[in-house]
Amino acid sequence: MAAFIQAVNLRKTYRVGKIEVPALRGISFSVEKGEFVSVVGPSGSGKSTLFYLLGGLAQADSGHVVIDGDDFSQLSDAQRTRMRKRKIGFVFQKFNLLSTLDARSNIEVALDIAGSDGNRNPAYFDKIVGLLGLAQRLHHRPMELSGGEQQRVALARALINTPAIVLADEPTGNLDSKNSNIVLDMMRQSNLELGQTVLMITHNPAAAAYGDRIIHMRDGEIVTPEKDPQWTGHE
Q: Please report, for residues 104, 151, 154, 176, 177, the alpha-carbon distance to residue 142 in angstroms, rounded to integers and kept in the order given.
A: 11, 10, 10, 18, 20
pLDDT (tens digit per residue) in 167-195:
999 999 888 899 899 999 989 998 998 88
Which of these, 188, 220, 186, lies nearest to 39 by C-alpha position?
A: 220
Q: What is the CA radius of gyration of the chain?
A: 18
Domain-by-domain residue ranges, the chain? 3-227
On whether the 3-227 domain is CATH 3.40.50.300, my answer is: yes
pLDDT (tens digit per residue) in 53-98:
999 888 899 999 999 888 888 888 888 888 888 889 999 888 889 9
Q: Is 41 left (phi over 0), alpha (psi -120 to 50) or beta?
A: left
Specify the pTM.
Answer: 0.87
Q: Please report, for residues 25, 109, 222, the alpha-carbon distance to residue 64 in angstroms, rounded to integers and kept in the order given.
A: 13, 30, 16
CB-CB contact of 194 with 34 (8 Å): no
Average pLDDT on 129-145 reads 94
The better pLDDT of the pair 116, 186 is held by 186
Give the pLDDT of residue 235: 39
Mean pLDDT score across all residues of the chain: 89
Is 234's pLDDT higher than 50? no
